[in-house]
């Protein structure tokens, strides 16, 4: 059982870890809230750095869900997310109290959208299954590694989930991410990324790598249309006044993908665009974005 008011670890590891971080753990109504501590910890648990140890603690505790403060940083967010996944505990990032989006004012239409998402995703997965097989073979023959790429993203009300894509980079690309991005201010996208394989570059040009996200839609983790699903290395850089956006259900396509994509990499601008979409949401606009996505994909607009 995790019961200490704050913890720290100095144990070194080559995998995502909690080393050199102090945390305050608050237990409220079977919810564990993890925050960063700026002071010296009262209790030291040197093996918290080991994910298996943390998994055992979570499994043995009556905790029903875990909420993570964004201030703990990208590495700690990923480590806690992986531990919660293995312990089968839902994990969220802490977000501002949700204000009413347009969808909340139209519950029947929003419910229709969610049902339609799953039906359309199931049909498309069935129709596109032969294409999935061909693309999987191309990826496997082009470079060693897994066929699919999974990455932690922020979903509805801050819930963390793993997005599924076809792998477009060499194996071990994640370890080179921050070295290549060099702490750039905008979205972490690089036009001539050396990690991208030859097949991966083609998949990205026509957004074929994103087709497995239909599985996320079928699971209810995403929608066909919605705001961009933020990765952890981007979400920790969102300004507090725009974090309300993290309460929204993300989508495979949406305003940013259709109107700007890689031509607009300013995180604040993208978030404001998403908030405008949420404040004026309608089924008609979603249908419009779906139609506009087709020529954008075929032309390779802003894709890399």
Domain endpoint, select from 67, 93, 119:
93
More confident residue, 208 or 28: 208
For residue 28, what is the domain's CATH number?
A: 3.30.750
pLDDT above 70 covers a percentage of the chain that reads: 82
Global confidence as pTM: 0.85
Give, in order, the Cα–Cα distances in Å from 47 to each of 8, 51, 54, 227. Answer: 9, 9, 8, 38
| In-domain check, residue 163 | yes
User: Of 61, 93, 125, which marks where a domain is finished?
Assistant: 93
Identify whether residues 174 and 264 lie together within a single domain. Answer: yes
Tell me what the mean pLDDT of segment 218-226 comes to. 96
Residues in the chain: 304
Rounded alpha-carbon distances, angstroms, from residue 206 to 68, 301, 302: 35, 9, 10
pLDDT for the residue numbered 262: 62
157 and 293 together in one domain:
yes
Which among 304, 74, 272 is positioned nearest to 203, based on CA atoms? 304
> Would residue 239 count as lying in a domain?
yes
Indicate if 64 and 108 belong to the same structural domain.
no
Q: Is the pLDDT of residue 5 over 70?
A: no
Into how many domains does the chain fold? 2
Are 174 and 209 in the same domain? Answer: yes
- Whether residue 130 sits in one domain with residue 69: no
Report how far Cα 166 is from the mean position of its chain's Cα atoms: 15
pLDDT in tens, 97-141: 877 788 888 999 999 999 999 999 999 999 999 999 999 999 999
Instruction: Verify that 154 and 293 share a domain, yes or no.
Output: yes
The answer to the question of residue 304 being in a domain is: no
Residue 174 covered by a domain = yes
Which residues does residue 33 pair with via DSSP β-bridges, in sequence order? 26, 67
Pair (123, 196) in one structural domain: yes
Q: Which residue has the tokens 């097949």?
A: 199
Residue that finishes a domain, picked among 40, 61, 93: 93
Average of pLDDT values for 53-82?
91
Are 205 and 292 within one domain? yes
Backbone angles phi, psi at 28, to 5 degrees: -135, 115
The answer to whether residue 1 sits within a structural domain is no
Q: Which domain holds residue 86?
A: 6-93
| 3-state secondary structure at position 95 | coil
* 224 and 85 share one domain: no
Answer yes or no: do 79 and 119 share one domain: no
64 shares a domain with 124: no
My answer on whether 271 and 125 are in the same domain is: yes
Q: What is the pLDDT of residue 159?
A: 97
């Amino acid at each position: 059982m995790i019961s200490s008011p704050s913890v720290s670890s100095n144990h070194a590891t080559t995998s995502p870890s909690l080393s050199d971080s102090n945390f305050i753990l608050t237990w409220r109504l079977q919810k564990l809230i993890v925050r960063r501590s700026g002071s010296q910890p009262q209790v030291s648990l040197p093996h918290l750095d080991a994910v298996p140890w943390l998994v055992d603690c979570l499994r043995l505790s009556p905790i029903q869900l875990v909420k993570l403060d964004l201030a703990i940083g990208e590495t700690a967010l990923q480590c806690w997310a992986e531990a919660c996944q293995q312990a089968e505990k839902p994990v969220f990032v802490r977000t501002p109290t949700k204000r009413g989006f347009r969808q909340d004012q139209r519950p029947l239409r929003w419910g229709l959208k969610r049902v339609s998402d799953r039906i359309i995703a199931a049909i498309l997965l069935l129709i596109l299954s032969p294409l999935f097989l061909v693309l999987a073979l191309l990826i496997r023959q082009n470079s060693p590694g897994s066929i699919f790429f999974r990455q932690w993203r922020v979903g509805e009300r801050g819930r963390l989930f793993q997005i599924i894509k076809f792998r477009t980079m060499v194996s071990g690309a994640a370890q080179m991410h921050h070295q290549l991005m060099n702490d750039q201010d905008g979205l972490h996208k690089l036009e001539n990324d050396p990690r991208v394989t030859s097949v991966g570059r083609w998949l990205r040009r026509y957004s074929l790598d994103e087709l497995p996200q239909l599985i996320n839609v079928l699971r209810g983790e995403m929608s066909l249309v919605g705001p961009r699903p933020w990765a952890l290395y981007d979400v920790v850089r969102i300004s507090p006044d725009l974090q309300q956006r993290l309460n929204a259900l993300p989508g495979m396509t949406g305003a940013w993908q259709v109107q700007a994509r890689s031509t607009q990499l300013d995180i604040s601008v993208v978030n404001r665009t998403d908030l405008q979409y949420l404040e004026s949401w309608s089924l008609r606009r979603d249908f419009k974005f779906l139609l506009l996505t087709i020529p954008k994909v075929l032309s390779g607009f802003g894709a890399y």
